[in-house]
């Protein structure tokens, strides 16, 4: 089964030549003067594929939901067929880095979670707290 080597929320990220540059990494709290808040957080994750998964379609789901009632703020479904590059060493695992901006429209303060799932199995769950800096009327 696939595994997640690392997963982090950040302000933005770029990948070049297999290396990832992360700006504002470790994001777990967003705030604004009032609700609703429209913002973009970026998810960076590295998936390590099991040898048995190579060459076979895999279903990826990214989900941002309210932790208490499951209200979805964002959902991205995709498929991938992982494979080993022709020149890649066979004694190293096959991994893919995913950098995905997540546009969010947060209408209420509270605890949220960002879920990375492969074939319906959650492999990473990241917390995200949304709060306001001014009292709400």
**Per-residue model confidence (pLDDT) at position 136:** 60
**Per-residue model confidence (pLDDT) at position 78:** 96
- How many CA atoms within 13 Å lie on the side-chain side of 1? 9
Q: Using 50 as the pLDDT threshold, list the residues of the chain that sit under it.
A: none
- DSSP-derived letter for residue 71 is -
- Please give the tally of structural domains in the chain: 1
Q: Is residue 42 part of a domain?
A: yes
Say which CATH number the domain at 119 has.
Answer: 2.60.40.2550
Which tokens sit at 49? 């594929």
43: nearest Cα among 112, 101, 97, 4: 101
**Per-residue model confidence (pLDDT) at position 137:** 60
**Per-residue model confidence (pLDDT) at position 94:** 94
The single residue listed with the structure tokens 């695992």 is 93
Q: Is residue 15 part of a domain?
A: yes
Give the Cβ contact number of residue 46 at 10 Å.
15
> What's the pLDDT tens digit per position in 15-44?
998 899 999 999 999 999 999 999 999 999
Question: What is the spatial distance between Cα 106 and Cα 112, in angstroms, rounded to a whole number?
Answer: 10
Q: Is residue 10 part of a domain?
A: yes
Listing DSSP states for 1-68 in one string gives: --EEEEEEEESEEEEETTEEEEES-S--EEEESSSSEEEEEEEEEEEEE-GGGTTS-EEEEEEEEETT
Q: Is residue 111 part of a domain?
A: yes
Q: Is residue 70 part of a domain?
A: yes
Q: Is residue 137 part of a domain?
A: no
Domain interval for residue 13:
3-132
């Amino acid at each position: 089964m696939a595994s997640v080597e690392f997963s982090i929320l950040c302000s933005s990220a770029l990948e070049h030549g297999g290396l990832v540059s992360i700006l504002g990494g470790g994001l777990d709290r967003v705030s604004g003067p009032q609700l609703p808040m429209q913002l973009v957080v970026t998810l960076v994750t590295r998936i390590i594929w099991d040898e048995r998964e190579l060459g076979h379609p895999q279903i990826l789901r990214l989900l941002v939901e309210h932790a208490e009632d499951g209200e979805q703020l964002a959902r991205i479904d995709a498929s991938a067929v992982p494979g080993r590059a022709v020149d890649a060493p066979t004694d190293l695992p096959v991994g893919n880095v995913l950098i995905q901006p997540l546009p969010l429209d947060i209408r209420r303060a509270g605890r949220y979670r960002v879920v990375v799932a492969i074939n319906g199995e959650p492999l990473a769950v990241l917390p995200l707290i949304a709060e306001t800096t001014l009292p709400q009327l």
